[in-house]
Structure 1
Amino acid sequence: MATAPIQFPPPVDSAKEFVGPPTDPEDERIEVGVAIVGGGPAGLACAIRLSRLLAEDEALLESLGEVPIALVEKGKGPGSHLLSGAMMKPSAMQKLFPDLSEEDWPTYGTVPKDAVYLLPNRKRAIPLKPTPPPFRNHGNHVTSVAQLGRWLAQHAEDAGVYLLGETAGAKLLVDDGRVVGVRSGDKGRGRDGEELSNFEPGSDLIAKATVLCEGTQGHLTGAAIRHFDLGSEDPQQWELAVKEVWEVSRPLDRVIHTMGWPLQFAAKYREFGGSFLYPMGEDKVSMGLVVGLDYRDARFSVHDALQELKSHPLVAGVIEGGKRVAWGAKTLPSGGYWARPRRLWAPGMAICGDGAGMINVPTLKGVHYAMHAGMFAAEAIYERLKGAGACDDLSNYTAKVEGSEIETDMYRSRNMRQPFTRGFLVGGAIANMMEISGGRFPGGRWATHDDATVEVFIGKERDYPKPDGKKTFDKLSSVFTTGNATRDDAPNHIRLQDKVPLEVALMWQNMCPAQVYEVPEEELEAAKQNGNGKLDGRHEVKLQITPSNCVQCGAITAKGGRLTPPEGGDGPNYQVT
């Protein structure tokens, strides 16, 4: 009998733990006009747009109290937990900052040239000409989304938005069927939940409207989708991106994308993804590998595959003589159009950005969608507050999204991801037909699947390169570069079953880019004994977990476990990712 991670659900009761009414006495609650959860492109664009609308409506602004707009961010500050490629289309920035020239944006300029390669093996690179349409980036901006987040945050603060950093949204506050705010997480608890000397309890943040802009695998977003039954009949799928930034001796004169090696082509592995190399000015390069989390081989590791990719002559030539200066990892939604929430709002609440699945799968672009959605949410909330005085019906937000490029682009590529379950070659052929036909073929509704339902197996040992600390790196030294600030004695924010089959445990161990999960050696020996010298994948093992390593990429939630909110301020402190 084959094994899938979904057969071993984590010990979580979302309805009881993460959703509930306010509990603070009324005189201790923090009243705000609009609460925004998440300091990424969506949340900050929402805050900036709403602040400008309110600035032109003095009466409405005054009615929202002393704190008209509050934005809570679980990282040390906006940008700390942000990671993307990123190749940003300019439309959202042009709308949000019409008076600024593109030279004033915090980007590395527009794309000079494009190049796409098929890597059939570790030596060859076959250029794909003409450049496939999804990879044409003329006019797009190379961006560090972490730097973009800090820049947007400064504009938000200048506009009067209250930014609450190091504040995790732990609970969605729901009263009489509508969202009334969020509760922040406690601080200063020990590993077993005990109150330490610096303990600070969380607070109820009460708002007329709440906008969830948590990004990928958002904790409150998931709770809201389950509580209000907002999910699509097609489950969301996810990809894991591991990225590095290198200082280089020679400038890269083009944007490079690759597909193929080091991923395996055969359908049984279901390894879907590709790599990117983007120039960040004259002296830096952003490089990364993005892989769908419905792969099957428990020995596969995205982080280690990225290290292997550096041995390919195409990549080695770019980073030769250079130095790695940053690293990070993050999941992104890849289910596409059919996997989006069937509704983007509930009474008192809207969902924006990655949490709403707003990613163009073939182009892997979503920053501009997130910003557009944030602005749409701001406009919809303003209209409701100005009219009815309440935000119980935010269908006007959905209407704005459906009338935008978000809807048009995502519908055109609605069946792009699904064919790759048949392998790289078949999937690629079908995806090409979709592109040629303008999205008309393949037609219909191709179902997506939950990544955790995919059966896993223990394949052959992978011959990943040994870390040398110069060109290739292990996971722990990579985590160190992120400035991860999680206390060793902080409560464990990761939920897993106590014991799982070895094939699931190895999947989690190798999948995690931060070495959070480890199968003890004695467990491996016992599995070998059970398998007469070969690993018995059904042998149940207990994983060792080091939650302080976690960079909150979200992969474990996609693959059968659950990431819950850590203490505010924990996790990475990304600078140039």
Structure 2
Amino acid sequence: MIAAPTDAPGERIEVGVLIVGGGPGGLACALRLGQLLEERPDVAERLGEVPVALVDKGKQPGSHLLSGAVMNPRALRRLFRGRPEQLAAVPTYGEVPGEGVYLLTRRRALRIPPPPTLRNHGNWIVSISQMARTLAEQAEAGGTFILPETSAERLLVEHGRVAGVRTGDKGRGKEGEPLGNFEPGSDIVAKVTVLAEGTAGHLTYAAIDHFGLHGREPQMWELGVKEVWRVARPLDKIVHTLGWPLRKRAAYREFGGSWIYPMGEEMVSIGFVIGLDYRDLELSAHDLLQEFKTHPFVRRILEGGERLAWGAKTITSGGWHALPRKLNAPGLLLVGESAGLVDLARLKGVHLAIESGRLAAEAAFRSLERGESPGRIGVFDSYDEELRGGYVGQSLRQVRNMRQAFEKGFFVGGALASAMTVTKGKLPPKEFHNERNDAVPLLRSGRAARYPVPDGALTFDKLSSVFASGNRTRDDQPNHVRIERRVPRDVAEMWAWMCPAQVYEVGDELGDGTVEVRMTPSNCVQCGAISARGGRLTPPEGGSGPEYTLT
């Protein structure tokens, strides 16, 4: 994952600033750089023919993006300060019209006062994939060269500094052999490289390992599965739920909940999130969502409706404790979820990604001015200081122990979370610790017996859901998922239940308590869950994976 450039100097693609990832953080970085270079054409001229380039492995920016999403517009307003027409062009479903938080039992929904962290007055309801497509158009208009369907396979490091990326080959067969349409990858070299890969980024973790940037605590993840429905009746508020179908006992370590957000009068977004530190090997985020939809409260919202789209994605949840020691290295900046910038307590990450992208652009621009060098050690330290000292760092520090508190169970965790909220993180006085998701011991309780049988109307199986994601992966391309193929049966079963896209299957017994794991990697929607529980997701061929349009 780390290599020196291999193309001859004359064959390399040279750019000024290279951004990896077309999510909110990467696009905000591109947009801000465009603004700064417009004001300083002398700097733009020194950067050559392509001052700013952005690579994205999806068919287009937005294709691999999935979020709830209720977004705090604060960062977007800062990004477009003095440019009201660009802000107005961002597609939204309006401000949050009202909100309700419910504690669910199997048959009942008890409305409870929204905790301060779930109050969303003034926030916007958006489709993150739609928003990204618009931001990408604006970035291109501002001078960014966007390369879609381009995976970043290796981080190029030369003379101790990041020099760009190597893009992945296209047109290889299952065994790696070149096919008739084979296209080799290329070295893209840059003065500054910005990693905005999102959750469980392939190059991000290579950079963290190589430059020794590991945070104080290990990173943690949640897994969210989402559907978009056309509904018969408009929903007049956003909804969050706690409780059922999760179990409250600390022994199960089932942390999570749901959302239901209106998307105009005709659609709703519905999703379920589960922490990937759960213990029951039969727990399945996809099947929890299907079970959740059978609750009378939820069924009434969806009754007479039709499922339009489905998707799945991991969410970074280690918070303040898991932030990299530094968010930069010589020639390199980390933004958004690549840097772990998610406030899970408030269910917010989009505005933190946008703010970090803006600040990264300003730091990159300063390093490119005369008398400076992007390769100088410490040149980007001001980015860290601004991010940690501003509202991004302050909001993460206040809730730094909240996710970990729920490892003690629903009721104890809720009480601790309330204390943390009231005191803005000052209580309890001790710091909690993160535990690696893949270090959790497994148990078996027969949980799967409660999942509903898919009926194709309200509840759905995994394969039909993968189809609804618009998955474009070739059956005959190389396997991009790295796992041990011979593992204990419990681990294989856990992977099979965990994966929302039915990539893993328990194979033959091998006689020593282990089994063979069979795989269908072409089903993969690149959610990243396997990276949290013992494997590693790497980039597939550019243009593969889901084609999200409403998520």
For the aligned pair, the TM-score class normalised by the smaller chain equals: over 0.9
**Paired amino acid for 2:441:** E
1:105 Cα deviation (Å)? 2.6
Matches within 5 A, 1:370-385: 370-385=353-368
The one-letter amino acid of 1:279's match is P
| 1-structure distance, mates of 2:384, 2:11 | 34
Cα gap change, 1:196/1:273 in structure 2, threshold over 3 Å: closer, same or farther? same
Query: Is 1:555 aligned to residue 529 of structure 2?
Result: yes
What letter corresponds to residue 495 of structure 1 in structure 2? R
* Of 296, 299, 303, the match for 1:316: 299
| Stretches of structure 1 lacking an aligned partner (at least 5 in a row) | 1-17, 531-537
Residue number in structure 2 paired with 1:501: 488
Q: Distance in 2 between matches of 1:481 and 1:38?
A: 23
More moved, 548-557 vs 481-490? 481-490
SS of 2:407 mapped into structure 1: helix
Aligned partner letter, 1:153: A
- In structure 1, how many angstroms separate the alpha carbons of the residues matched to 2:178 and 2:373? 38
Structure 1's 398 and 465: CA in aligned 2 closer, same or farther, altered over 3 A?
same
Measured after TM superposition, the shift of residue 364 of structure 1 is 1.3
Report SS of the residue matched to 1:398. helix
Match of 1:335 in 2: 318
Match of 1:67 among 33, 41, 50: 50
Residues of 1 paired with 2:478 and 2:219: CA distance?
28
CA contact (8 A) 1:338 1:445 kept: no
Provide the C-alpha distance between the structure 2 equivalents of 1:205 and 1:439, rounded to a whole number of angstroms: 43
Pairing 1:286–2:274 present: no
Contact 1:72-1:163 at 8 Å conserved across structures: yes
Cα distance, 1:355 vs. partner? 1.0
Matched with 2:415 is 429
Which deviations, in whole Å up to 9, do the C-alpha atoms of 1:250-288 show, x marking residues without a partner? 100001000111111111110000000000000000010
Deviates more, 1:511-520 or 1:391-400: 391-400
Task: Judge conservation of contact 2:89–2:134 (CA < 8 Å) in 1.
Answer: no
Aligned counterpart, 1:109: 94
**Letter of the structure 2 residue corresponding to residue 238 of structure 1:** W
Q: Is the 8 A contact 1:237 1:448 kept in 2?
A: yes
Distance in structure 2 (CA, Å) of the matches to 1:417 and 1:239: 10
CA contact (8 A) 1:103 1:109 kept: no
Q: Which of 479, 482, 492 is the equivalent residue of 2:479? A: 492
Residues 459, 539 of structure 1: alpha-carbon distance in 2 compared, 3 angstrom cutoff: farther
Q: Distance in 2 between matches of 1:388 and 1:214?
A: 30
Q: Deviations over 1:491-535 (max 9, x none)?
A: 000111121011100110000000000114x54xx9xxx9xxxxx
Q: Does 1:58 align with 2:41?
A: yes
User: Which structure 2 segments of 5+ residues have no match?
Assistant: none
Q: Which amino acid aligns with 2:521?
A: P
1:256 aligns with 2:242: no
**Structure 1 counterpart SS, 2:45:** helix
- Residue in structure 1 matched with residue 543 of structure 2 by the alignment: 569
| Distance across 1 between alignment mates of 2:447 and 2:112 | 31
Post-superposition offset of 1:351:
0.2
1:178 match: 161
| Runs of 4+ with >3 A deviation | 101-104
CA positional deviation for 1:403? 2.8
Deviations 1:404-425 (A, max 9, x none): 2101100110110111111111
Check conservation: 1:73, 1:166, Cα contact below 8 A.
yes
CA distance in 2, matches of 1:442, 1:297: 29
1:115 counterpart SS class: strand
Aligned partner of residue 549 in structure 2, secondary structure = coil
Distance 2:180 2:372 in 1: 43
Amino acid at match of 2:484: Q
Q: Which of 431, 438, 444 is equivalent to 1:458?
A: 444
Give 1:387 shift: 4.2
Normalised TM-score (structure 2): 0.97
The one-letter amino acid paired with 1:167 is T
Which residue does the alignment assign to 1:87? 70
For the residue of structure 2 that corresponds to 1:240, the secondary structure is strand
C-alpha deviation, 1:444, in angstroms: 3.2
Cα offset for 1:539? 2.3
In structure 1, how many angstroms separate the alpha carbons of the residues matched to 2:427 and 2:204? 32
Q: Counterpart of 1:122?
A: 106
Secondary structure of 2:78's partner? helix
In 2, the alpha carbon distance for the partners of 1:233 and 1:459 equals 34
> Which residue pairs with 2:456 in the alignment?
469
| Residue pair 2:216, 2:323 contacting (<8 A) in 1 also | no
Partner of 2:134: 151
Structure 2 counterpart of 1:132: 115
Q: Please, what is the CA RMSD of the aligned residues?
A: 1.2
Code of the residue aligned with 1:465 in structure 2: it is P
Superposed displacement of residue 312, structure 1: 0.7
Pairwise CA distance, 1:103: 5.2
Q: CA deviation at 1:386?
A: 1.1
Among 393, 406, 418, the residue aligned to 1:420: 406
Q: Give per-residue Cα distances to partners, 1:72-102, cap 9 Å, x unaligned.
A: 0001110000000011001111112233276
Task: Return the alpha-carbon distance in structure 2 between the equivalents of residues 252 and 388 of structure 1.
Answer: 57
Query: How far is 1:207 from its partner?
Result: 0.3
Amino acid at match of 2:98: K
**Whole-angstrom distance in 1 between the partners of 2:407 and 2:119:** 25
Say if 1:514 and 1:550, in contact at 8 Å, map to a contact too. yes
Question: Identity over the aligned pairs, expressed in percent?
Answer: 55
Which of 197, 222, 225 pairs up with 2:208? 225
Matches of 2:207 and 2:476, distance apart in 1:
30
SS in 2 for 1:294: coil
2:289 is aligned to 306
Q: 2: CA distance between counterparts of 1:448 and 1:158?
A: 43
Does residue 1:190 correspond to 2:177, yes or no?
A: no
Query: C-alpha separation between the residues in 1 aligned to 2:402 and 2:323?
Result: 14
Residue deviations 1:378-428 (CA, integer Å, cap 9, x gap): 001111111434212211111221232101100110110111111111111
The structural deviation recorded for 1:233 is 2.3
Secondary structure of 2:463's aligned partner: helix
Match of 1:515 among 478, 497, 502: 502
Q: Structure 1, residues 135-174: CA drift from partner, whole Å, max 9, x if none?
A: 1100000011000110100000111100000000000000
1:411 counterpart residue number: 397
